[in-house]
Amino acid sequence: METRVVFHIDFDYFYAQCEETRSPELKSKPVCVCVYSDRGGDSGAIATANYTARKYGVKSGIPIAFAKKRLDERKDAVFLPVDFEFYTEISEKAMEIMKDYADIFEYVGRDEAYLDVTDRVEGDFEKANHLAQQIKNSIRDKIKLSCSIGISPNKLISKIASDFQKPDGLTTVSPEKVDTFLEQLKIRTIPGIGKKTEERFLEMNLETIQDLKKIDIFTLNKEFGRKTGGYIYNAVRGIDNEPVKKREARIQYSKITTLKQDSKDYQFLSENIIELCKEVHSVVKKNNQMFKSVGIHFVQSDLSNKSKSRMLRSPTTSIEELEKTADQLLKEALENQTITIRRLGVKVSELSEIQGQSDITSYF
């Protein structure tokens, strides 16, 4: 079988880096991009922190108040609200640059993509290394961002490799180096292996991928079930046959409707919101994706616009969560609504895949 050459390109601290491109003076400061909740003050969570902030233990997902405590001694620390439209614009430019270098381009999310470059580099990993450097230079020249690239014969190892020397890394794992590269790494490095699974392995005195290779497939199947056991058995050996599939960037899905009558009545609007959620959900499901952000949109009777959105704790495919969040946003938006509403919309964004490898790993 022909050896493939696959890139995984991942942008370093993407949201915070986007902010640094429009305000270069932020580069030397700890920068935290925050998803503020509607409760006001510091309620909400960190979406992304730059590497200066990370040195103080600030990472995505932690409450803003914790991050402020950890950065207490840094009087120059900056906390900014997320600006998804700006990040999406930059992401689209970056994806266009990458596409030009790929035989097959697979969009994964706003800040990552897979490229199959096998034909372009004639299966040569030396050439692949040069090509990756060209991509990095092009992205830096045109949109002032750094990214990390992993190169290997498949998606799994490339994903691990892109994270190996962050930020601004370039790691090539040619076929003959796969075993040596993987064996030194901690088990947790395998995409999809979470804290619980790692703890279970530690109880079995297994810490590195090399240790885990000693476990036979039957033990893994007994412990984790056939699907997950099989995934782990193959992953530690660097086996992954999932192809890079052509997938264009799809940043969001939305549905908007013109109401039968202009209204600001919660009951009436809520019924319409639930209908819109069902329509959006069926599209997301058909495309085999999860979403992490839910938003609602009003076009008011005076044709002005109003929108509200919320970031969920983790990506989901749940229609119940979509309906509940959209309805909650509706209630909040109507609190001081004076103008009637003419059109109503629901959108989901922050999309990610739930197929192939990711649905195997969603068990962890």
Given a cut of 80, whether residue 157 has pLDDT beyond it is yes
Q: What is the pLDDT of residues 80-93, one digit of tens each?
A: 998 887 888 899 89
The answer, yes or no, to whether residue 361 has pLDDT greater than 80, is: no
Mean pLDDT, to the nearest integer, of 162-190?
95
**356 pLDDT exceeds 90?**
no
Lowest-pLDDT choice from 35-49, 108-122, 266-280, 298-312: 35-49
Q: Give the residue from 57, 85, 113 where a domain finishes.
A: 85
Rounded to an integer, the average pLDDT of 240-263 is: 86
Q: Are 102 and 117 in contact (CB under 8 A)?
A: yes
Q: Are residues 187 and 273 both part of a single domain? A: no
The whole-number pLDDT of residue 232 equals: 94
Mean pLDDT rounded to a whole number for the chain:
90
Residues 70 and 140 placed together within one structural domain of the fold: no
pLDDT value at residue 357: 39
pLDDT at site 24: 93
**Token output for 111:** 């800040």
CB 257 within 8 A of CB 172: no
Residues 64 and 111 in one domain: no
Q: Is pLDDT of 1 > 80?
A: no
CA distance 6 to 157: 9
* Domain-embedded: residue 1: no
Q: Quick check: is 95 in a domain?
A: yes
Respond yes or no: is residue 112 known to be catalytic: yes
Determine the pLDDT at residue 39. 67
127/238 same-domain check:
yes
Residue 100 structure tokens: 């030009």
The model's pTM is 0.72
At residue 249, the pLDDT reads 64
Which of 55, 85, 115 marks a domain boundary? 85
168 is in an annotated binding site: no
Of 166-180, 183-197, 246-260, where does the model show the most confidence? 166-180
Decide which of 177, 211, 244 is a domain's last residue.
Answer: 244
CATH code, 297: 3.30.1490.100
Note the pLDDT of residue 336. Answer: 85
Query: Is 103 part of a structural domain of the chain?
Result: yes
The answer to whether position 363 is within a domain reads: no
Whether residue 239 sits in one domain with residue 91: yes
In this prediction, residues 98-114 reach a mean pLDDT of 92
| 112 plus 236 within the same structural domain | yes
Residue 230 within any structural domain of the chain: yes
Per residue in 183-219, pLDDT tens?
999 999 999 888 888 898 999 899 999 999 999 999 9
- Claim to verify: residue 161 and residue 300 sit in the same structural domain: no
Q: Note whether 224 and 340 are same-domain residues.
A: no
Question: Are residue 174 and residue 276 in the same domain, yes or no?
Answer: no
Give the CATH number for residue 196: 3.30.70.270
Domain count, the chain: 3
pLDDT of res. 48? 93
Do 173 and 157 form a contact (C-beta atoms < 8 A)?
Answer: yes
DSSP string, 335-355: TT--S-EEEEEEEEES-EE-S
- Does pLDDT of 308 surpass 80? yes
Question: Where residue 65 sits, what CATH number does that domain have?
Answer: 3.40.1170.60
* The pairing of beta strand 289-300 with beta strand 341-349: antiparallel
137 — pLDDT class (breaks 50, 70, 90)? very high
25 against 84, higher pLDDT? 25
User: Same domain for 97 and 221?
Assistant: yes
DSSP E strand boundaries for 53-194: 78-81, 104-109, 112-116, 147-152, 170-172
Q: Which helix (H) or strand (E) holds 111?
A: none
SS3 141: helix
Looking at the fold, whether 175 and 92 belong to one and the same domain comes out as yes
Q: Answer whether residue 358 is part of any domain.
A: no
Residue 214: inside a domain: yes
Mean of the pLDDT values across residues 303-320? 88
Annotated binding residue 111: yes
The model's confidence at residue 248, banded by pLDDT at 50, 70 and 90, is: low
Q: Does 278 fall in a domain?
A: yes
Q: Are residues 81 and 178 in the same domain?
A: no
Q: Is the peptide bond before 153 cis (omega within 30 degrees of 0)?
A: no
Q: Which range marks the domain in which residue 108 is found?
A: 6-12+87-244
- Out of 19, 20, 112, 323, pick the active-site residue: 112
